[in-house]
Amino acid sequence: MKVIWNDEIVERSEVKIDMEDRGYQFADGIYDVVRAYNGKFFTLNEHVDRLFSSAEKIELRLPFTKEKLKEMLSELIKINNIDTGNVYMQVTRGIGIPRNHPYPDPEEVSPVFTATTTIVARDQEKMDRGMSALIVPDLRWLRCDIKSISLLGNIMAKHEAHKKGADEAILHREGIVTECSSSNVWMIKNDTIYTHPDGNLVLPGITKLVLLRVAQNAGLSVKEEAFTLEDLKKSDEVFASSTTMEAMPITSIDGNPVGTGQRGPVVKKLQQLYVDAVE
């Protein structure tokens, strides 16, 4: 598998990252994950726009245009023969010597861009069966809208969930559900679908954007409105959404079944609408 390293497509073993790269020292960088189906990217423009928006929020000057980035990514999936799979891309601010907290003058640093691919098929069996979740306090920072490579808060929550045998962590701030450790979270009560509005407490998910659109077009009742842990416990259905999981039912929370304990009809419908949007 080849990778992108700055503006070149090379073997992974050829990549050299400096130990004083600010991504390595400060997690001073951003990333995004985009998926391809049948050899073609899905929502590539939205992912590229979000990468540029994350960069702008941390005053990181990207060393390419959106068009150039899309060209490089398309070239990579072609070379790696990616039919259905994910592309992970990240940009760090570059080398800053000596180590010093303030952003260096953009004229004096060169951001480092890398991108890798993985072949991953849709996990239909899991999407039918659903997954389990654990409720964990949201201990992350207050700029969760930036897709920062600083993910300690997220991975600590996911690790906590995994230690207790759950697949995903549902995060809350003082009883208000925000999102999951690597996905947005939704609940359904009396046929209305709820998810936390965009803002600084959640990542503006691209899958969320697609699901909101297809749900509205299908005439479903959707509200971008925060809900509490109490609401979650009384909900009929819960699911998580992300580029890699699409709409994934959460059928048990803290060991208790959600609704019937099986994938519900609304999430099943959303899964189908999403597949239709992809095809």
Q: Residues 244, 254, 268, 269: which binds ligand PDD (CB under 6 A)?
A: 244
Binders in 32-91 for ligand PDD, by CB under 6 A: 33
User: Is 114 one of the binding residues for ligand PDD (CB under 6 A)?
Assistant: no
Least distance to ligand PDD from the beta carbon of 159, Å? 15
Shortest Cβ 270–ligand PDD spacing (Å): 13
Which 195-224 residues touch ligand PDD, going by CB under 6 A?
203, 205-208
251 binds ligand PDD per the rule CB under 6 A:
no
The CA distances from residue 268 to 128, 150, 152, 271, in Å, are: 8, 33, 32, 5
Q: What is the set of active-site residues?
A: 31, 147, 179, 203
Query: Does 235 engage in binding with ligand PDD (CB under 6 A)?
Result: no
Rounded to an integer, what distance in angstroms lies between the CA atom of residue 183 and that of residue 169?
Answer: 9
Phi, psi of 116 (to 5 degrees): -130, 160
Burial class (CB in 10 A: 0-12, 13-18, 19+), 169: buried
Which listed residue (148, 242, 252, 271) binds ligand PDD by CB under 6 A?
242
Distance (Å, rounded) from C-alpha 239 to C-alpha 253?
11
Residue 11 β-bridge partners: 2
Q: Which stretch binds ligand PDD (CB under 6 A): 125-133, 241-249, 251-259, 264-272?
A: 241-249
Tokens of 172: 């809350």
CB of 110 to ligand PDD, least distance (A): 25
Contact stretch for ligand PDD (CB under 6 A) within 1-9, 58-66, 98-106, 238-246? 238-246
- The site map against ligand PDD for 157-186 (x = CB under 6 A) is ----------------------x--xxx--
CB of 260 to ligand PDD, least distance (A): 26
Alpha-carbon distance values, 266 to 3, 221, 263, 278 (Å): 39, 11, 9, 18
CB 7 within 8 A of CB 110: no
258 conformational bin, left if phi > 0, alpha if psi -120 to 50, beta if neither: beta
Considering CB under 6 A, how many residues would be counted as binding ligand PDD?
15
The residues facing 80 across adjacent strands are: none
Q: What is the DSSP letter of 252?
A: E
**Is residue 229 near ligand PDD by the rule CB under 6 A?**
no
> d(Cα 79, Cα 12) in Å, to the nearest integer?
13
Residue with tokens 């060169």: 110
Helix (H, G, I), strand (E, B) or coil at 116: strand
Kindly state whether residue 243 participates in binding ligand PDD, applying the rule CB under 6 A.
yes
CB of residue 117 to ligand PDD, shortest distance in Å: 13
Q: Does 271 bind ligand PDD (CB under 6 A)?
A: no
Interface positions with ligand PDD (CB under 6 A): 33, 154, 179, 182-184, 203, 205-208, 241-244
